[in-house]
Structure 1
């Protein structure tokens, strides 16, 4: 009898452990994507004033990339690159998109959401979209089952032709006729659910908390099946807003308030994963869409010790903070200086889920060996280099420690290992390296423009 009780006890303890930590064949994936957050604007990346305990803890439990790159230094192209694994001109989104204007990311592109849906994932986009606000370009036409957020930058206006929910909430004296006017109403932006406007203008002081609540609900609803959550915070793009719980709390002013609230959001999501017993089945990535908007003064972020900022091909425009964790799969406490980019996320997820790569050519490469914390792993771009496009113009390339930047007939060569701030142009002393990198720029740009994705 004692033996039977003992076996039963073991059985119950085992089943209890299983219920507390569910196992899913395919990993859940969460990508946090902030807007205009500078390289330095995380505690673990050196911010002297902004407190980010949850992100710092995430780095301690996972991996921190010191040389991680967005594929553009402005919003729309950067987001197109992340979701397609390709440089922005290749997928037809080289510039920032504006409300109620033609264009967007073609819904014939294979996004991360499309690819993961093909493997049985439930998908959600929460937050900023900015890849076209007309019906055919919205997230629900790009592989996402659910959308909740602001369809473009939070300093823009509203598309007067937007679909409107019958239960729409109007604020600040707005009415339906106000929304339908073609008059530009800067900083008055809509909140959308699926493909309808549900609030106009949205109360931006609440968006970080509302995005977080929506994310938590999505996780809880889909905890038993694989899911992909793309949580693209609207902050810290100007105009800056923070909820009453965070406003006025950071030593870095309102900008710091927004980052500290985002850090809280990360913490709430990670806590939810743990409470639902799925943290060990979930890959979480945190990064930014491009460098800071330093022209905004204390309303913008910092890229120090990097040179440059948003809308430039200096490091400060492209190099962004990146932290990832996946307990048991990514080694804890790893810091890597190997180059990787947002364009590498799609092919890495393809590898992890045994999915198929898009039929059309992409530029990203599988970086799992590097992401997992393998000390012997190499940069996926060590042979081919990484390219910096400004709009449709290829201005720079990095290969290894060397970066060549060519603008308005100015040729500048930097050794980023010795000169992270790009302060010393060593082109004259290294003509062979300049010639080699110039050739790489010419050949790659020619090939890309000859092989842009084409759709009917």
Structure 2
């Protein structure tokens, strides 16, 4: 005689051989439950949460461990200790809207035709190009953006229309207001509005409101994490700072001892810590891809003490390293070894397809330019960059290309701005124009772009020039 225990009851099977069917039937609920649990776990694991923080007009040396700032940045340092730091990460254009469009669509500026910085009332990114929010939303993700959108300020083009079900922040840069230091009358034609979930909640942002921006974005981001902790989510946190005008919250004013820019950087560091802590407190760390991009482009050097410092040549608005190379940290405990650094090269256009691969999300239906670089990110032995080259543009002009391994960079002949006099106290300084001839730099040995080696490596220059010509014909010829 056999007794099979099910919960608090015993099923009596007198004739085992004749009643084997009953035993199987008794086990079915446990088998089904096990299958459901495994399926649920597999489904959740196949859709890791995604956190993407993107700063505005930062500089390569703004945060430790990348630089050695005079103010503390312990939360970014902690993130670096928990993830991997990338020193050779690039954006294809060193200006706000173009850089954001490239990140969110996985496409070159030449494809989307989003160049420069778009102002109030402009449509921005064409809806034919899917955003990261839209593609992840289709795959069952809860999506939220809290911060600066800057990819369209017309109905149907704003963040809440482009794949983000929760949103708050500004539709364009925080300097596009009546307080603009150079053109207040022009920018004052449009009120700088603060939006929340598709509605204007502050019709005209003031200086006092600007001191609250970083805090408000952060609070909404943390709330979004807590609200959606039981289902996959995509959190996009594109801060307005440290784009000028720079404003720090009350708790951080004077805290750095280095001026308002240092105060702002300390508050942004705090924000990173708040998001990282929220992920941990809600038990999400193991299944969350955390991406921190320290800037959309290099520092706006004309603003002097209200801008960051980069060790590289030039800054925002140029294709020199100071404009297009930006610090990146990626944390994903399941696959990325903590506390590591790498000089493997890739671009912001690769973030979208890589996230799609990791989250089992179909790529956009429209054609994109980025490639899955997960093998590079996790440092898989033998991994190679899948691109031939990366292009760099300024406005609607292709100005250079770089080999995909990050060593060789060819500047086409072009004018560029270089700092004449730095501004003080929020007032801009001035630039003057220089002309650069066709130039080849060996970034491995000369990351500061000081010596033209085109005569020493004519075949390499010829190879990159051919790629530049092909790119020009494909994306810049009507």
What TM bracket, shorter-length normalisation?
A: 0.7 to 0.9
Measured in 2, the distance between the counterparts of 1:132 and 1:324 equals: 28
- Normalising by the residue count of structure 2, what TM-score does the alignment of the two structures yield? 0.81
1:442 aligned counterpart, secondary structure? helix
2:326 aligned counterpart, secondary structure? coil
2:475 aligned counterpart, secondary structure? helix
Match among 264, 288, 296 for residue 289 of structure 1: 296
Q: Any residues of structure 2 matched to 1:232-251 within 5 Å, and which?
A: 232-251=238-257
What is aligned with 2:74? 53
Measured in 1, the distance between the counterparts of 2:224 and 2:91 equals: 27
Match among 463, 468, 478 for residue 436 of structure 1: 463
Shift of 1:379: 3.0
Quick check: 1:114 aligned with 2:134?
Answer: yes
Quick check: 1:138 aligned with 2:158?
Answer: yes
What is aligned with 2:307? 300
Q: Any residues of structure 2 matched to 1:361-440 within 5 Å, and which?
A: 361-374=367-380, 376-381=382-387, 384-399=388-403, 400=405, 401-408=407-414, 410-440=437-467
What is aligned with 1:11? none
Structure 2: segments with no counterpart, 5+ residues? 1-42, 180-184, 415-435
Quick check: 1:197 aligned with 2:218?
Answer: no
CA contact (8 A) 1:122 1:226 kept: yes
Shift of 1:302: 1.3
CA contact (8 A) 1:339 1:380 kept: no
Q: Which is higher, the Rg of structure 1 or of structure 2?
A: 2
Measured in 2, the distance between the counterparts of 1:126 and 1:193 equals: 9
Shift of 1:248: 1.1
CA contact (8 A) 2:291 2:328 kept: yes
Measured in 2, the distance between the counterparts of 1:186 and 1:374 equals: 53
- Normalising by the residue count of structure 1, what TM-score does the alignment of the two structures yield? 0.85
Which range moves more in the overlay, 349-358 or 182-191?
A: 182-191
Give aligned pairs, total: 404
1:119-158 Cα shifts (integer Å, max 9, x gaps): 1001011100001111111012111111100110000039
Measured in 2, the distance between the counterparts of 1:79 and 1:372 equals: 24
Structure 1: segments with no counterpart, 5+ residues? 1-21, 159-171, 173-181
Measured in 1, the distance between the counterparts of 2:464 and 2:187 equals: 44
Measured in 1, the distance between the counterparts of 2:439 and 2:127 equals: 38
Quick check: 1:184 aligned with 2:187?
Answer: yes
For the aligned residues, what is the CA RMSD?
Answer: 2.0
Measured in 2, the distance between the counterparts of 1:252 and 1:398 equals: 36
Measured in 2, the distance between the counterparts of 1:63 and 1:50 equals: 22
Shift of 1:247: 1.3
Which range moves more in the overlay, 332-341 or 372-381?
A: 372-381
What is aligned with 1:354? 360
Q: Which has the higher contact order (CA 8 A, sep 6+)?
A: 1
What is aligned with 2:258? 252
Which range moves more in the overlay, 65-74 or 105-114?
A: 105-114
2:94 aligned counterpart, secondary structure? coil
Which range moves more in the overlay, 39-48 or 76-85?
A: 39-48
CA contact (8 A) 1:387 1:394 kept: yes
What is aligned with 2:124? 104
1:23-65 Cα shifts (integer Å, max 9, x gaps): 6541000100000011111111013313211111111111100
